[in-house]
Amino acid sequence: LGALGPVMQAQQQQIQHQIKTSQESELAEKLSKLDEQEKAATTDEEKESIQTQRQAVQSAPPTQVMPVMPDMSKMYGMNDPRVMVFSLTDVVSGILVNIFLLISGAGLVAAREWGRKMAIWVAAIKIGRLVILEAYSVIVVAPVIAKGMAESMQEMMSQMPPGSGGAPPQLGPQIATIYGTMFTVTAVCMLVFGSIYPGILLWMLTRPDAKAACQRS
């Protein structure tokens, strides 16, 4: 997301430049035709009418408006070091723990005691990791992302022409509350469902028969 934001902004600027160039060319063509009509006019009434048309053309709003695309880095908090640290910690720790889970699985297939002990440690670490990460996500990350999304949505809505459903200024806090609630619920679900497998692992591998089987091997 951090790399995607600048790419999307560059594309948006290119499209906006093309739209602006097209509108300027269209405006210049209309004004040129009005100049020719004014030169060919024979009465003051015709000239005044053409001048009125010229003023209307010059003051007319753009026929095509390119809305400002949200800043992806700001929208998802990727420009905040706290979110970056959380994301990197989440990915790196998840990979490392699962590598050890795979190794312990090989030991369990061979019914080795070291595999059982390693799997128990890995399961406990998985649950502890989830508790720490999801708590940090709710307390620190969720408010940052919710605020960024609310501000980005508000900027997009403010670009809408009047009368087309633009959002009132006070809508920002409501959006932040909605997104904050969504992220909090997501974090709780991640904790609950992510703890199912390591919880079962802890229960099964601490049973006397599992311990006896690995010790006999």
pLDDT grade for 56, boundaries at 50, 70 and 90: confident
Q: Are 159 and 136 in contact (CB under 8 A)?
A: no
Which of 7-16, 62-71, 95-104, 165-174 tops mean pLDDT? 95-104
Q: How confident is the model at residue 39 (pLDDT cuts 50, 70, 90)?
A: confident
Q: At residue 80, does pLDDT exceed 60?
A: yes
User: Which H helix or E strand runs over 69?
Assistant: none
Given the structure tokens 């009509």, which residue do they identify? 37
Q: What is the pTM assigned to this prediction?
A: 0.65
Distance, in Å, from the CA atom of 205 to the CA atom of 199, rounded to the nearest integer, reads 10
Gap between the Cα atoms of 18 and 33, Å rounded: 23
Q: How far apart are CA 91 and CA 76, in angstroms?
A: 16
DSSP category for residue 169: T
> Per-residue pLDDT for 198 more than 50?
yes
Name the most confidently modeled range: 14-18, 31-35, 165-169, 181-185.
181-185
Burial class (CB in 10 A: 0-12, 13-18, 19+), 190: middle
